Structure 1
Amino acid sequence: MAKYLLASASGASFLCLINGLLPIQALANVVPTEQKLLLNAPQKSAIVNNKIPNQLNKFNQVTLPKTAETGLIVANDSPAASPTIQDKQESQDSSHPQGLQTSDNNDSPQVTSVSQFSDVQPTDWAFQALQSLVERYGCIAGYPNSTYRGNRAMTRYEFAAGLNACLERVNELIATATSDLVKKEDLATLQKLQEDFAAELATLRGRVDALEARTAELEANQFSTTTKLNGEVIIAGIGATGGAPNQGDPNIILVNRVRLNLTTSFTGKDLLITGLQAYNFLGGVDGSGSLQRGLGLASDLLTASSARTSFEPLFPGLDVKTLSDQAANSVQLYKLLYVFPVADKLTLFAGTAAEATDAFPAITPFYGEGQESISRFAGLNPVARVSGGTSGTGLASAAGFIFNISPQLDLRALYGSVNANIPQEAGEIVPGVSNTPLGAGVFGGSSVVSAQLTFKPTSSIDVGLNYAHSYHEINILGTGLIRDDIGALAGVPLGTPVSLNSVGGTVTWRFSPKVALSGYGAAMFVDDSSDAVNASTTFTSWMVGLHFNDLFKSGNNAGLLFGQPLFRSDAGGTAQLAPDGVNRATPYHLEAYYRLKLTDNISITPGAFVLFNPEGDSRNETTTVGVLRTTFTF
């Protein structure tokens, strides 16, 4: 039981108590008040993708796990599929609840003089009583901000808690041979008060005993004292029609993705995120068995396509680092990241399985692989996805920082290396392409330097500005958003290394409590990085949409959006605007979905998106992809 919270040595002091002058701290975590149950929460510090003060909103959205999902640490109304740094930051925005610190808290030094209370003056009518309690008995500890708040009302239970603390303090003084400090009249007053409040004191002690028993039981049966487990299970039916000419419609498929996230804190301020996943999407090197291949809209290698759903990985059924196959529903480590603060406004993170979205908040409300938009196009600005930034498999080893410049402004940046664990490149399988196509080593293979500046000019507007510089050992974008992701420089061999400079911006305006307007724009400038060719290409993309909260029923969300997937707007040198045989046309994407929240842990999302001029080719038929997604969170 917390001590030195409140004790009195005179009838005047107890009169102050009765009139609500003395705030009670003893057993604040178990004493109910008229407003709420006071909880003595552990001291928290900011680390978040989110999302460390004011940060962890994002490690996919770590975003802790948002769980996280530590970001490195942006947030949903259900447990995150992947914890992010941002998730951790949001959870740490709240420190101690409104209530006094107990003097047992190491972070709150014992008050030794009444002058330490900024709101207590010598002219106050109870100043002498307070002075006696503080300086004679040393049993008053005020609020963390050095205030006393003597006019605060209290309940009889709070009074009983203070009286109980006073009795213990007096007993301690007697036991330590300092009984001369306790006057006879004070003991008489204590005895009478103890008799008057006998029932409350008995109730209080009974509650303490019951709480201690329950706490012991929880500690004996908890999963871990340092680690929390959460997870997400997605089961979805997907059907599609349209696609390439003379191509039959693929069958309706049933797919799943399961994620288990372990979030561990060793100091209360840091966060270790470990994520395991399994899925049954098919693909492999040639994309066989994928829905996109069935539509005829996938790249010749892998499954890059505009017909991708939000919850499938970038390279399904394949370890792209070594081009080795992975069986359906095999368990993978898709997240391993450590987040830790080094200063009040600076947080660092590093890991061997990470994504850009682990650190960068998702500005758009359409992001949420298991809860919001059903397409890969809608959830994030393409600049965040470049170079495998959202592979869904923790493709890169990464390290970076989160700098909270102010509550309205923060800067985040990272360096990621895809094949950091491979010492040497393997032999070539086709000219210029090795069996480790993304290179080898921390600084010798494909890599990305990415940054995001996030600011909130008003409480209803969020803005994110992105920049990424990438280098790839082969001719790709690494977003998985369109078929031309593979062979980014059209007419240039796949084995040509390329460098990319990508810029983008995302804005969300909540013009009413339940409706938000959101959109993004992006441009990617691709140049060859070899002496063999001289080629360059520019890709552009944009999206705008409306997001609805609590539509028709509390907890149900919906989205309606329209935009242009990545499309070549310019080409120079030996690069072409489109591959041979393509009838170039601007592609468009139209999407609608509605999420029904059945319980706090179960939701169903029916939705569909329509592709006009899919993959920028007017020969392709208008394509419709329908999804019925069920999400379980725990």
Structure 2
Amino acid sequence: MKRNLLVSASGVSLLYLLAGLLPVKALAVKEGNNSKTISTTETLPQEILSFDGAIISEKVNNQIPFEQIFVTNEITTKAAVNEKQENAIASLNQSNQQLNKKPILTAQTPQFNQNQKQNSQQNTNSPGQVTSVSQLSDVQPTDWAFQALQSLVERYGCIAGYPNSTYRGNRAMTRYEFAAGLNACLERVNELIATATADLVKKEDLLALQRLQEEFKAELATLRGRVDTLEARTAELEANQFSTTTKLQGEAIFAVIGATGGAPGRENPNIILTNRVRLNLNTSFTGKDLLITGLQSQNFLGGVDGSGSLQQELGLTAPGVNLAASSARTGFEPQFPGFDPKNLSSKGANSVELYKLLYIFPVANKLTLFAGTAAEVSDAFPAITPFAGEGQEAISRFAGLNPVLRVSGGTSGSGLASAAGFIFNPSKSIDFRALYGNVNANIPRTAPDILPGVSGTPLGSGVFGGSSVIAAQLTFKPSDALDIGLNYANSYHEINILGTGLIANDTNALGLASGNLGIPVKLNSVGGTVNFRFSPKMSLSGYGAAIFVDDSSGRVNASTTFTSWMVGLHFRDLIKKGNTAGIIFGQPLYRTEASGDARLAAVGVRRETPYHLEAYYKFRVSDNISITPGAFVLFNPEGDKRNETTTVGVLRTTFTF
């Protein structure tokens, strides 16, 4: 399995290397969704929490039919492999190809998402019980061979798992299935002979075994070939496994992005090629806990002033220290490309960073705790909307999540905060989660000011000092077709920002005429998200949000309110199984109220409600590759009628391994 993993990784690495060498002038990278135990996982449902694609587990089919795992008796003749044996071995190899499947995640544990639907299949047969491998019934209960084996099973206890040690003789068996049971009796008799208890073996039983062995010689030899193959593959897996406790999952996104429109008098920016690559190590020490360690690199540009970003080239970002925010941003772009907002230090394109470090562990049947030094609000809260999924679903930042989750850098894409919280599941239909996050836990002292009221560590310092957020989400399912999430966040920021990365007015959130960035603010944010599946392959989803911003310094008297909403249709298995699509319309964050010293808009702005229209289609090339063409159109971008209608087109290719 790991050999193939390395092969897959090397292929992606080659493409990634090529992308990393390409010059980029402007910008440049869960998973859904059934969760299972730490050793068996599939893709998780959209409504469940996703750690930015982090793996929880991988699906390995270890329920191999009984006759494939029996060890043949030493008195069994090892015949040359004939054509029938070769076919059987090929069949075994094909059935075991799943052992080489790479984990695809969307990162949740059953304990961290107890509101998730459980779909894991368990083997209903008793341990060691013979199971059918085909519909061929060559050995009937009335046959002499069947009756002979039944007698041996009941006399020597050859096959475990049957009540009262009796052999169920009320159904026919295939010859290979029968041979598996025969092999067990041969092994049992050998054990009795080897332990000097041969007197317990009757002569007539030895004669019956000899006759049965001759009759089923071909089937016994086939079983031996299958077992040898399985043992060789198992040894190879053990020798090359990455870790007994850790699963590796990767995602590489390559995207071509082009845009037209923007501020008046601007030329259209060049088409750019961007990438984001993530490697997640998911470790479980008990089988119920999960340690997520995530590494990433990306080649989006921006810096503190947005230099080189697509948003700046369109002229949609605020002037000066703007943190490169605008409504033209793609969903897989980090919130702070090219720099660290904690200390304003620069980061080079495709430099490797730790973007996720989070530990999740259950403490009771309905209570799970989590804590980490590189985490985000979206790590803990279910997205609800099916458009969430930076590498697989909506292409814009607007469509993926409710803005309340993004407040205070809650979806920075770089694990901005140190956070701790809990998940409480009082029932299958109710899920309540809350957390405290602080972006400055590793900074012992605030740096000197570089602007009035803005220090070199603009978000503050210390675990309980500076910018912080307390957030909660209540998720409930009134029915199987309806999911509802309610969000609340209380934030404090050392500087005058929203921290969503959604619009240019993310900076100067109070709307002060002076544009003073050094005024601390308090934010109260409320929102709700709904997803209604009115058919198995179609759902209607939407959200609404309001962010109330107030001065926290006492130096000014200002308050302002931002609102946003979205509604969209999501399609599953459209045209082809595994393909998805979305049509989305809504209003990006827009300042709707202002009082005191706050202003609705800067001087010269022609206020007009902004709107966002988006469409995309993701088609799955294979289990590990998907391609998503899409585009979104911004009407009255940034709430300014002077700005031209802006169109952003994206061609995104996502590799998972």
TM-score range (shorter-chain normalised) is: 0.7 to 0.9
Superposition pairs for residues 510-589 of structure 1, below 5 Å? 510-589=533-612
Secondary structure of 2:632's counterpart equals strand
Q: Give, as a single letter, the amino acid of the residue that structure 1 aligns with 2:651.
A: L
The answer to whether the 8 Å contact 1:59/1:85 transfers is no
Deviation at 1:266, TM superposition (A): 3.0
The answer to whether the 8 Å contact 1:403/1:410 transfers is yes
User: What TM-score do you get using the length of structure 2 for normalisation?
Assistant: 0.76
Q: Whole-Å Cα distance in 1 between the matches of residues 233 and 277 of structure 2?
A: 33
- Is 1:317 matched with 2:338? yes
- The C-alpha deviation readout for 1:439-485, integer Å capped at 9, x for no partner, is 11111121122222223322222222222222211111111011111
- The C-alpha deviation readout for 1:231-286, integer Å capped at 9, x for no partner, is 22222222222222233322222222122222223333332222221111111111
Secondary structure of 2:613's counterpart equals strand
Match of 1:261 among 263, 273, 280: 280
Q: Whole-Å Cα distance in 1 between the matches of residues 317 and 183 of structure 2?
A: 73
Which residue pairs with 1:102 in the alignment? Answer: 127
Q: Whole-Å Cα distance in 1 between the matches of residues 504 and 187 of structure 2?
A: 75
The answer to whether the 8 Å contact 1:470/1:501 transfers is yes
Which residue pairs with 1:496 in the alignment? Answer: 519
Superposition pairs for residues 180-259 of structure 1, below 5 Å? 193-194=212-213, 196-259=215-278
Which residue pairs with 2:439 in the alignment? Answer: 418
Q: Whole-Å Cα distance in 2 between the matches of residues 475 and 271 of structure 1?
A: 36
Which residue pairs with 1:305 in the alignment? Answer: 326
Superposition pairs for residues 153-172 of structure 1, below 5 Å? 155-172=174-191
Which residue pairs with 2:68 in the alignment? Answer: none
Deviation at 1:44, TM superposition (A): 3.1
Deviation at 1:61, TM superposition (A): 4.7
Q: Whole-Å Cα distance in 2 between the matches of residues 551 and 54 of structure 1?
A: 17
Match of 1:58 among 23, 36, 50: 50
Coordinate RMSD, CA, aligned = 3.6
Report the CA distance shift for 1:134/1:297 in structure 2 as closer, same or farther (over 3 A).
Answer: farther
Q: Whole-Å Cα distance in 2 between the matches of residues 603 and 493 of structure 1?
A: 45
The gaps in structure 2 that reach 5 residues or longer are 1-35, 60-101, 130-148
Q: Whole-Å Cα distance in 2 between the matches of residues 185 and 546 of structure 1?
A: 73
Report the CA distance shift for 1:253/1:194 in structure 2 as closer, same or farther (over 3 A).
Answer: same
Report the CA distance shift for 1:222/1:61 in structure 2 as closer, same or farther (over 3 A).
Answer: closer
Superposition pairs for residues 38-77 of structure 1, below 5 Å? 44=37, 57-62=49-54, 64=56
Which residue pairs with 1:458 in the alignment? Answer: 479
Secondary structure of 2:464's counterpart equals coil
The answer to whether the 8 Å contact 2:54/2:294 transfers is no
Secondary structure of 1:97's counterpart equals coil
Secondary structure of 2:364's counterpart equals coil
The answer to whether the 8 Å contact 1:47/1:89 transfers is no
Which residue pairs with 2:17 in the alignment? Answer: none
Which residue pairs with 1:284 in the alignment? Answer: 303
Q: Whole-Å Cα distance in 1 between the matches of residues 348 and 551 of structure 2?
A: 35
Q: Whole-Å Cα distance in 2 between the matches of residues 345 and 47 of structure 1?
A: 21
Report the CA distance shift for 1:49/1:206 in structure 2 as closer, same or farther (over 3 A).
Answer: closer
Report the CA distance shift for 1:183/1:462 in structure 2 as closer, same or farther (over 3 A).
Answer: farther
The answer to whether the 8 Å contact 2:373/2:418 transfers is yes
Q: Whole-Å Cα distance in 1 between the matches of residues 276 and 57 of structure 2?
A: 16
Which residue pairs with 1:7 in the alignment? Answer: none
User: What TM-score do you get using the length of structure 1 for normalisation?
Assistant: 0.78
Deviation at 1:621, TM superposition (A): 1.8
Match of 2:488 among 467, 478, 485: 467
The answer to whether the 8 Å contact 1:302/1:315 transfers is yes
Which residue pairs with 1:407 in the alignment? Answer: 428
Which residue pairs with 1:108 in the alignment? Answer: none
Q: Give, as a single letter, the amino acid of the residue that structure 1 aligns with 2:433.
A: R
Q: Whole-Å Cα distance in 1 between the matches of residues 424 and 43 of structure 2?
A: 13
Q: Whole-Å Cα distance in 2 between the matches of residues 567 and 151 of structure 1?
A: 73
Deviation at 1:289, TM superposition (A): 0.8
Q: Give, as a single letter, the amino acid of the residue that structure 1 aligns with 2:51.
A: F
Secondary structure of 1:342's counterpart equals strand
**Deviation larger for 58-67 or 299-308:** 58-67
**Deviation larger for 285-294 or 223-232:** 223-232
Which residue pairs with 1:110 in the alignment? Answer: none
Q: Give, as a single letter, the amino acid of the residue that structure 1 aligns with 2:541.
A: S
Deviation at 1:313, TM superposition (A): 0.4
Superposition pairs for residues 352-371 of structure 1, below 5 Å? 352-371=373-392
Which residue pairs with 2:653 in the alignment? Answer: 630
- Is 1:396 matched with 2:417? yes
Deviation at 1:215, TM superposition (A): 0.8
Q: Whole-Å Cα distance in 1 between the matches of residues 169 and 335 of structure 2?
A: 60
The gaps in structure 1 that reach 5 residues or longer are 1-42, 68-77, 105-128
- The C-alpha deviation readout for 1:183-211, integer Å capped at 9, x for no partner, is 77766665655554444333323322221
Report the CA distance shift for 1:424/1:47 in structure 2 as closer, same or farther (over 3 A).
Answer: farther
The answer to whether the 8 Å contact 1:50/1:84 transfers is no
Q: Give, as a single letter, the amino acid of the residue that structure 2 aligns with 1:631.
A: T
Q: Give, as a single letter, the amino acid of the residue that structure 1 aligns with 2:238.
A: E
Report the CA distance shift for 1:179/1:400 in structure 2 as closer, same or farther (over 3 A).
Answer: farther
Q: Give, as a single letter, the amino acid of the residue that structure 2 aligns with 1:611.
A: L
Q: Whole-Å Cα distance in 2 between the matches of residues 280 and 181 of structure 1?
A: 75
Report the CA distance shift for 1:386/1:62 in structure 2 as closer, same or farther (over 3 A).
Answer: farther
- The C-alpha deviation readout for 1:13-50, integer Å capped at 9, x for no partner, is xxxxxxxxxxxxxxxxxxxxxxxxxxxxxx93699999
Which residue pairs with 2:395 in the alignment? Answer: 374
Q: Give, as a single letter, the amino acid of the residue that structure 1 aligns with 2:620.
A: K
Q: Give, as a single letter, the amino acid of the residue that structure 2 aligns with 1:265.
A: S
Report the CA distance shift for 1:134/1:541 in structure 2 as closer, same or farther (over 3 A).
Answer: farther
Secondary structure of 2:219's counterpart equals helix
